Amino acid sequence: MSVLLEVDISVDYPGRPGALRDLRLTIEEGEMVGLCGESGSGKSTLALAIPGLLDWKGATVRGRIEFAGRDLRRLSAREMRSIRGRDLALVLQSPLASLNPALRIGSQLCESWRAHRRDGDWKACSLELFERVRLPRDEGFLRRYPRQLSVGQAQRVLIAMAVLHRPRLLIADEPTSALDAITHAETLDLFRGLARELGMALLFISHDLLSVASLCDRIAVLSSGTIVETGGAAELFASPRHPYTRALLAAIPRVPDACAVG
């Protein structure tokens, strides 16, 4: 496989230098990479830095973000808009907050479609994706407002919107944090199936090491703005090298012997 994304950046916020410090990360075509770390470690900063969405937060970004052979930081705003949402897509952790409450679901999908395409049938494509993400393949569903959806349904709508143009890389930032246990497991399975079916690479960001390990080919551990360790799930669980990785593994809840089934 060839390298799709290569990141080598540092990020400072006003009054908070070192949000990311000489962070280096690569993702190959079709690879599923997990990024793990505690709250405040810089996970969401990286998720927003890659598609160039940190300007509104007043951040200073230094370094290089190379995607499909192009340095994204050297592109114009217009060039970035042509990539963002088409080749490079993002799913955020608060689905109901990410959808426009004043617009019907169909209108938002139509806007996403027309941002990159003028031909084709956005409605047919959306309903086909709804079936894949386990939403009703029903035009009535397109007429709903976000307030009429459950959190799990809203998350699936966001995922369908993100993969509408079959991106080469999907970044998912804590996409299961607001979900119940069953919907959480179903969403992990959904990401796995879509990544394989569409041949896209996935950067799955989470504080939940077990979820990342069950989904991803490789795990990167982020601490205080820098990646301290990378490796396969089996390797990381069997012989973690960095003290922070060992601390994350030690924090995983265990079922007490007295509560164990059987």
Whether pLDDT at 19 is above 80: yes
- pTM higher than 0.85 for the full model? yes
Task: Identify the pLDDT of residue 262.
Answer: 47
- By percentage, how much of the chain surpasses pLDDT 90? 74
Q: What mean pLDDT is predicted for residues 29-51?
A: 94
Task: Identify the pLDDT of residue 58.
Answer: 87
The confidence band for 95, taking pLDDT boundaries of 50, 70 and 90, is confident
Beta strands (DSSP E) in 47-142 are 60-67, 70-71, 88-91
The confidence band for 233, taking pLDDT boundaries of 50, 70 and 90, is confident
Task: Identify the pLDDT of residue 64.
Answer: 96
Burial 153-181 (b: 16+ CB within 10 A, else e): bbbbbbbbbbbbbebbbbbbbbbbebbee
Q: What mean pLDDT is predicted for residues 121-144?
A: 93
